[in-house]
Structure 1
C-alpha cells in the first residue's frame, strides 16, 4: 500500500501510446484506445492505494476509449469509477446516456460497455479517479445506475466536500503511512457514498457513520475558511451547520482535540507559518495574530508560548537566525546574535538601530 507513479517519458516516443494503452488496461480495465497523437503521445499516471479503494490520477494527450462487451468478459474489476475532471473535457457514454463533463464529476461502471472521449485544446486532459468496488458502496446498484454517464457537480454540496478531500489526499497522501492511508480510504468511501446519495436525493440510504464523516469534513472545511473570524466558536459552527452543540461535540469525541482546541491549533499554525516567512518580516506580530482571529495580544502570546515554548517575537527571531545560517556567511553575519531561547537568562533580540520591526519593546512581545 502506498503511492506509485509512472510516465510515458521513460519509453521512446514511438512506444508511448502503446505504453499508455497497456497501463490503462492494467491499472483500470481492458479497453481499446485510439488517438490522433500517437506519434507524440504524452501520459503520466499515479496511484494511491487506500485499502478498500484506490485513487489514481491520469494526465494524457487527447484519446478515445472504448470498452465493449468483449472487454468486459476479458476482465472486469467490478468497480464504480468516480472521476473528477480537473483539466480538459470528457465525453462519456454508457447505458444509452451521454454527458460532456468539464471540471465536475462523472460516474461509470466497469461491468458495462462504455465509450469515453478525452478532449484538451491545449496540453493534456487530466482526471483523478476514485476506484470503488461495487460491493462496498452503501447504495443500491439499481439506484446508482441512474447516475452513470451524468455530470455530477464538484463545486457545491457534498461534491465540493469530496473533491476538496481528494485534492488534499493527493497532495499529502504520498507522505502517509499505510495504516493512515487505509483510514483515509474509508473516509473517501464515506464521502463518495454521501455525494452520490445526495445526487439521488436519498441521503438516508447512507449509513450514519458515512453521514457523520461528510458532516465532519464540512465542518473542518468551514473552520479552515473562517479562522480569521474572532467570532468563530463551537456555537457559531453548530448554528451554521444546523446541528446542536451536543452533536458537534459528539463528532469531535474521538479526535485528539476538542472543537475549541482544533480552532486554536489551526490559528496558531497559521500564525507560526507567517512569523517564519521572511516576506512578512515587516508585518507586526499583533497584525498577524489579528488576521488569524486572535483579538487579544496577551491571549495570543500566552497561547503561542504554551504551544511552542517561545514567545511569538522569539520564534520570529529564531526563524530569521536559522534563515541566515541557510543563506551562508553573509546572511549569518547579518543575523548574528539573534538566536534566542526562553526562560531565565535567555538572550534577547537586539533592537534594530532604526527602531523597526524586530525590536523587542521592554517587557513584551509587541509588534
Structure 2
C-alpha cells in the first residue's frame, strides 16, 4: 500500500525541516536547503515491496547533500535508481556528475557522499527505486563507474521499467502478498537489466533475468501493436530475432501462451470501448480497431470469453450504469499475478 505525505499542512517556516526529515527517512540522512521556502511544494508517495521500495517524489527547488558524517551515522547500503519524469535535476557522486531532464535515469549509492539539486524553477518529479546492494547481481566495481553518470531511459528497457514503476501507483493496492513478491522480483530484474545495458554487460545477467526481460519486451511490443491485424506469434518472433520455438519457450512459465495473450488483451480493449462514455461506436468498428478482421469471429470469441455477445454486453453495461451515472468496471484486480502479466501504459506526471 502506498503511503503519501504532502507539504499542504506544513507551515512555511517548517518546510525545510519537514522535507529534510521525510527524505532522510525514505532515502537516507541528508542536509538540505530550500531555494524559496515560501513557494516550495512537495508530495511524496512510498510503496514497500519487500526488500525494494518505490517512491514518487514531486518537489520544488532545493539542494541536498549526503556527507561522510551522514554515512557514519546511518547507511542502508542501498542503490537508488532514479527516473526523472518532469522538471530537471543534477546529481554528483565521486568524479561523476549529471544534469537530468524528463526521460533520463541516474544511479547513486548511499554508501558514498553525494549531492543533488533541482535545475528548473518548478523543481522536479522523480520515480525513485531503492535496491539493496546485495540484490543486484552485477559487479560492484563496474556499477561504481556508473554512479551519477546519467543515462537515457525513455526507450527500450528504461521505458519498460518506467511504465512498470509508474503503473504501481494505480494498481499495487489491488495486489495480494504473493503478487507483491512477484512485483519485487520483477522490479529487481528490470532495474538490473537496465544497469547491465548501460554498462554493456548483458551477458553477466543470469539466464532467468534475461528471459524475464525478454518477456517484458515482448509484452510491451504486444501492447503497442494490438491494433495490427498481422500481429501473430510468427511476426513477434521475427521482430525479436528469435525462432518461433524460442518464443513459445519464453511463455512456458506463463498462465497463457502468446496467441492467447494477444487475444485476451484485444478482447479487453474491445470490452472497455463497448462501455466507454465517449459515445457509441459500431461494434464492428471496435473489433476492427483492435485487430479483429472478422466480425463474426469477434462475436464468437467475445461470447466465449464473457458469456454473452458484444451487443448484449453493451446493453447490460448501459442498464447497470444508468442508475449510478457512471460506467461499470470489470472489478479491481492486480494485473501482475505472475509478475509479467501486464504493462499498463500510464506513468505519473
TM-score by length of 2: 0.90
Instruction: Name the counterpart of 2:203.
Output: 204
Residue 185 of structure 1 corresponds to which residue in structure 2?
A: 184
- Conserved 8 A contact 2:35-2:63: no
Cα distance between partner residues in 1 of 2:301 and 2:212 = 30
CA drift of 1:51 comes to 1.3
Q: Which residue of 1 aligns with 2:125?
A: 126
Do 1:82 and 1:105's aligned partners in 2 also have CA atoms closer than 8 Å?
yes
- Per the alignment, in what secondary structure is the counterpart of residue 298 of structure 1? helix
1:106 aligns with 2:106: yes
Kindly report which structure 2 residues correspond to 1:224-235, keeping only aligned pairs within 5 A, or say none: 224-235=223-234
- Once the two structures are TM-superposed, the CA of residue 296 in structure 1 deviates from its matched residue by 0.6
2: CA distance, partners of 1:170 / 1:101: 23
1:195-344 superposed matches below 5 A: 195-281=194-280, 283-327=281-325
In angstroms, what is the RMSD of aligned CA positions? 1.4
Matched residue SS, 1:59: strand
Q: Output the CA distance in 1 between the equivalents of 2:137 and 2:196.
A: 9
Q: State the distance in 1 between where 2:138 and 2:17 align.
A: 37
CA distance in 2, matches of 1:221, 1:327: 34
Report how many aligned residue pairs link the two structures: 325
User: Residue 309 of structure 1: CA displacement?
Assistant: 0.8
Contact 1:294 1:300 in 2 (8 A): yes
Aligned residues of 2:44 and 2:56 also touching (Cα < 8 A):
yes
- Listed as ranges, the gaps of 5+ residues in structure 2 are 327-349
**Contact 1:48/1:174 (CA < 8 Å) preserved in 2?**
no
- Aligned partners of 1:278 and 1:320 also within 8 Å: no
2: CA distance between counterparts of 1:176 and 1:3?
A: 12
Structure 1 residues 120 and 213, CA, compared in 2 at 3 Å: closer, same or farther?
same
Distance in 2 between the 1:221 and 1:54 partners? 23
**Whole-angstrom distance in 2 between the partners of 1:177 and 1:11:** 34
Q: Which residue of 2 aligns with 1:158?
A: 157
- Structure 1 stretches lacking a partner, 5+ long: 329-367
Evaluate the alpha carbon distance shift between residue 192 and residue 327 of structure 1 in structure 2; reply closer, same or farther with a 3 A threshold. closer
Which secondary structure does the structure 2 equivalent of 1:280 belong to?
coil
Task: Give, in angstroms, the shift of residue 121 of structure 1.
Answer: 2.5
Query: 1:164 Cα shift?
Result: 2.0
1:168 aligns with 2:172: no
Deviation of 1:144 (Å): 0.3
User: CA shift at 1:323, angstroms?
Assistant: 2.6
